[in-house]
Amino acid sequence: MLKRHIVVTKGIGKANTELSAFDKALIDAGIADHNLIHLSSIIPPKSEIRKEKYELKAEEFGNKLYVVIAEMRESRVSKKACAGLGWVLSEDGSQKGLFVEHEGESEEEVQGLIEKSLSEMKKNRADNFGPVQSEIASILCESSPVCAVVAAVYKSEAW
């Protein structure tokens, strides 16, 4: 069975503005030099999820990058920016599934939201799904604005 590889990558950034902190988080995650195309929550059949940094190939600069993405920007001192993705895969062997993205002020808050959303989404479907898996990024705002990003990268495509 030919598998589709979906890379779950994460990054954090700190800069002089929230937008430039977002850019640094994208750089840290390996997805900065793409035009991000946001997807919803469906994992297609025959998908393999891999947690690893996305590696940009030189010829991909400016490509469309299809992603499910969670991002949290923060500029209040002593507050955390936390972003996370959660997912479940069907137990029927098809390797199809669901993603959710959440943001919050603590890792525990984000994890709780991920579990709550996926629990309810699983109930809305006839499939039986395996355990919740997740990836969370967080960074504390100590002075300059910060950003946390987690993205599921489906594919890069030229224009």
CATH number at residue 14: 3.50.20.10
Look at residue 1 in the predicted model and tell me its pLDDT: 52
Q: What angle do CA 138, 77, 136 make, to 5 degrees?
A: 10
Q: What is the distance between the alpha carbons of residues 110 and 134, in angstroms, rounded to a whole number?
A: 10
Residue scoring higher pLDDT (58 or 143): 143
Read off the pLDDT of each residue in 62-78 and give the average, rounded to a whole number: 98
Q: What is the distance between the alpha carbons of residues 24 and 10, in angstroms, rounded to a whole number?
A: 11
Look at residue 57 in the predicted model and tell me its pLDDT: 86
pLDDT by residue (tens digit) across 41-59? 999 999 999 999 999 888 8
In which element (H, E) is residue 134 found? Answer: strand 133-140
Q: Which of 51, 62, 57 is nearest to 150 (CA)?
A: 51
* Average pLDDT value over all residues in the chain: 96
pLDDT by residue (tens digit) across 99-126? 999 999 999 999 999 999 999 999 999 9
Q: What angle do CA 39, 97, 33 make, to 5 degrees?
A: 35
Q: What is the distance between the alpha carbons of residues 67 and 6, in angstroms, rounded to a whole number?
A: 9
Print the domain residue range for 52: 4-157
Look at residue 58 in the predicted model and tell me its pLDDT: 84
Residue type, 151: A
141: number of CA atoms within 13 Å, CB side?
A: 23
And the tokens for 50?
Answer: 């891999």
117 phi/psi in degrees, rounded to 5: -65, -50
Split into its structural domains, the chain has a count of 1
Look at residue 2 in the predicted model and tell me its pLDDT: 62
